[in-house]
Amino acid sequence: MVIAGLLALVIVGLAVFSFITVRRSFPDTTGEVRIAALDGEVTVKRDGKGIPQIYADTPEDLFLAQGYVHAQDRFYEMDFRRHVTAGRLAELVGDAALETDKYVRTLGWRRVAEQELALLDDDTLRLVNAYARGVNSYIDGRSASQLSLEYAVLGLTGPAYTPERWTAVDSLAWIKAMAWDLRSNMTDEIDRVLSTQKLTVDQVEELYPAYPEDHATIVGDTGTVQDGAFVAEKTPTDAGLARAAVASLRSAKDGAAALPALLGTGDGIGSNSWVVGGDKTATGKPILANDPHLAPSMPGIWYQVGLHCRTVSEACPYDVAGFSFSGLPGVVVGHTAKVAWGVTTMYADVADLYLERVTGDTYEYDGQQVPLETREETFEVAGGEPETITVRSTRHGPILSDLDDEAAAVGAAAQKTTAQGSYEVALRWTALDPKPTIKAVFALGRAQSWTDFRAAAKLFTVPSQNLVYADVDGNIGYQAPGVIPVRTTGDGRWPVPGWDPAYEWSGSVPFDQLPSVLNPDEGFIVTANNKVIGDQYPVLLGADTAAGYRSERIRDLVSGRTRSSGQGLTVDDMSRFQNDTYNANAARLVPELLKIPLDTDYYEQGQATLAKWDFMQDADSPGAAYFNSVWRHLLARTFHDELPKDQWPDGGERWFSLVDSILDRPGNHWWDDVTTPGIRETRDQVLADAMRDARDELTRIQSRNPSDWRWGKMHRLELVNPTLGDSGVGLVDRLFNRGPYKVAGGNGIVDATSWDAREGYAVTAVPSMRMVVDLDDLDRSRWIQLTGSSGHAFHPHYVDQQELWRKGQTLPWAFGTKAVDEATDDTLTLSPAAS
């Protein structure tokens, strides 16, 4: 009895300790806090989901308060991000992060951010410094474990950690990380080269089909450059851009072909955004919708916030709400009192790989040996010894092949092909040229008109994003921003010879010549990472865009209901469209699959699930479960025999388009299995075998009875903490991770919960947030994000938006003072400290 009593006391003591440890980092969201750096009083009003609306009298106080609130809810996430962008993550989590640190330090994200800080105007610099003061006002005087539970867990295995003070550079560097994720086709360049290990260049080109002719571009096939500016006219002209740019287009095929002779972006990361003019809405005013697709994480990448000057004036011009990144001041996507904007990845080609002939500490350029630029980088490692590397660079940028196996393989392929010495691979990327995009974020937060919006877009240098626009006056528009290089030779699809000056960039496309449209006749604008403009445009913006399956479905949905039919579009319609799970790839393939005879009732039972399937990929759909298994096995049987393993199909929109192009050619060479000499497989054999494979797989992992199959049982989303969530220690993982959850959607679908056919059916990218803005009444707008406002495990707002997100539901988005007051649950007052 005594022992049992002691054990009970120990268990109770551990429970109390755990409860206190978990909760000690939860922030106070009511009462008053004194902050020395404030000039005036700031009010932070939080609704029932913990989403803050911040009110201040000056911009400095407003963004200081945003920094404070971000740190309250998400400081560990912020600290993690700055360690990543500085190449210092191993200092926090140990040697498991060392290779990532080496890569980031080689790219030099933080070095570029430091250069950008020096380029900021006084007003912008004042605001990013105010934000940093707000972060520091919260973290000063608090131990690491008081800031987040992650620090308490890390402290169990390492020395005590004291977070450094936040700086403006910490904020600027995060934009480099986002630009890297959205850098367009660098991976495609590598894959093209590595595929030549087993394929001819012509076969590799077949793997990258042209943009489907029946899929619309964003701004149409008539706009071009004339007299130095973009015009949406029906009379194409070559005038305007430098003749070198036009020559680049005309010689692109020749340039691309020359490089493969020397040598031999991934689906899922993208977005949907569209805007509908008042002629097609129930209110007569525009509605704008946006859902960016990014990798899932715990917490989610976005943080909802409202930033309001109590009196909007020239001195304090901010009245904006939307989605921010913790660690970055301002609102990245959202609306002001007059305008709204959304973003999608443009897939502009802003990065090129250069083959470099390196000899010793020099490389060849224009017939001369030029010294390599070098620098030493030293890495501190938690629980380990420091390590130092030498970073080498050419005139084009850092040499990636020193530390990236795939880049090194590209160089090795060149050496094997030419037998002319060794080749390294360097990266030229627009984001490594200092141009501070943070100025665009502040400018968008002040925008009141199309003119303001375009002025802000001009500052949006990297990453290149499609920007859609709507305003309360009824205007809708689109603008392509960013620094997009003009290539004098080649088209950016294959690595180029760094020793040849003919392959240098000749500058970038002037902003006024980038595609733009205001109030198109069609009455709506759709962007879903599809091609921006037709081939009449004199510069190739990017060859590896999405193939347009999502954008075509959105166009069909948007154009299906109009005011002329008495059924104008509403906010609810837009939310429904965002959750649409129609699979256009299935609509193309299933009729062919149903024609294929199978040899037994067992296999025919699987095939029969397709006969009554509506091509919607809901989580409880048997047909979706079977079709996606068929699709995965079809890709494997068609392409695995001929492609290197790392280049196997991921199953996204590019592969939809490729299979579509050979589906009516049953004898096409891709259907044949080259590992079975003397036997020529055909399309029908592959389709039949894929259906048999899928039936066997679904029987094994779900049920012998097809009526019990469910797409969501195999297509599951797990939200993983980026540092401790994959520790391998079950208890630690369970502290921070959430899920797995059964979800709908899939690859190339508007509800873009992507999966990788090389790995399985687990979700790899998601609509990270959804927003719908009603320009008739901003308080009727709706929003949702993947997890919740809080980054503190077990906090009520850690994951309280997830179930709504999963069900396709959204939250009311209060903006006006009255609506915010009615929604407020907690109020925190930040006051200047007494002098």
* Residue list for the binding site for Ca(2+): 189, 349, 352
One-letter amino acid of 341 = W
The CA distance from 444 to 813, in Å, is: 19
- According to DSSP, residue 462 is labeled S
Q: What residues contact residue 285 under an 8 Å CB cut-off, 6+ apart?
A: 278, 472, 474, 774, 775, 776
For 131, how many CA atoms within 13 A lie in the half-sphere containing its CB? Answer: 25
Single out the catalytic residue among 195, 271, 273, 401.
271
Longest alpha-carbon distance in the chain: 93
Q: Is 271 a catalytic residue?
A: yes
Question: Please, which contacts does 314-323 make with residues 24 or more away whose CB atoms are closer than 8 Å?
Answer: 315/58, 316/56, 316/57, 316/58, 316/59, 316/62, 317/59, 317/446, 318/59, 318/62, 318/445, 318/446, 320/444, 320/445, 320/446, 321/53, 321/813, 321/815, 322/771, 322/783, 323/769, 323/771, 323/783, 323/785
CA–CA separation, 163 vs 143, rounded Å?
A: 8
- Other CB atoms within a 10 A radius of the CB of residue 380 amount to 13
Rounded Cα–Cα distance for residues 346 and 384 (Å): 42
Q: Is 526 helix (H, G, I), strand (E, B) or coil?
A: strand
Residue 705 to residue 708: CA distance in whole angstroms: 6
**Residue 801 φ then ψ, to 5°:** -100, -5
Helices (H), 459-600: 549-559, 571-578, 584-594
Return d(Cα 522, Cα 19) in angstroms, integer.
58
How far apart CA 476 and CA 276 sit, in angstroms, is 7
Length of the chain counted residue by residue:
835
Q: Which residues contact 326 (CB under 8 A, 6 or more apart)?
A: 70, 73, 74, 77, 78, 81, 303, 791
368 forms beta bridges with 365
Distance of CA 724 to the CA centre of its chain: 22
Tokens of 788: 């919740």
Q: Which of 382, 362, 377, 396 is nearest to 91 (CA)?
A: 382
CA–CA dist 185, 193 (Å, integer)? 13
Q: Which of 720, 712, 708 lies closest to 806 in space, CA to CA?
A: 712
CA 18/CA 16 separation, integer angstroms: 5
Q: Where are the beta strands (DSSP E) in 186-255?
A: 224-226, 229-231
- CA 314, CA 540: separation in Å to the nearest integer? 40
C-alpha to C-alpha distance for 234 and 248, rounded to whole angstroms: 23
Q: ∠ CA 125-127-129 to the nearest 5 degrees?
A: 70
CA dihedral 192, 193, 197, 202 (to 10 degrees): 60
Q: What is the CA radius of gyration of the chain?
A: 27
521 vs 219, 220, 242, 476, CA distance in Å?
A: 11, 11, 30, 11
Asked if residues 782 and 775 have their Cβ atoms less than 8 Å apart, the reply is: no
- What CA–CA distance (Å, rounded) separates 781 from 788? 18
Residue 402 CB: number of other CB atoms within 10 A? 18
Q: Indicate which residues carry an active-site annotation.
A: 271
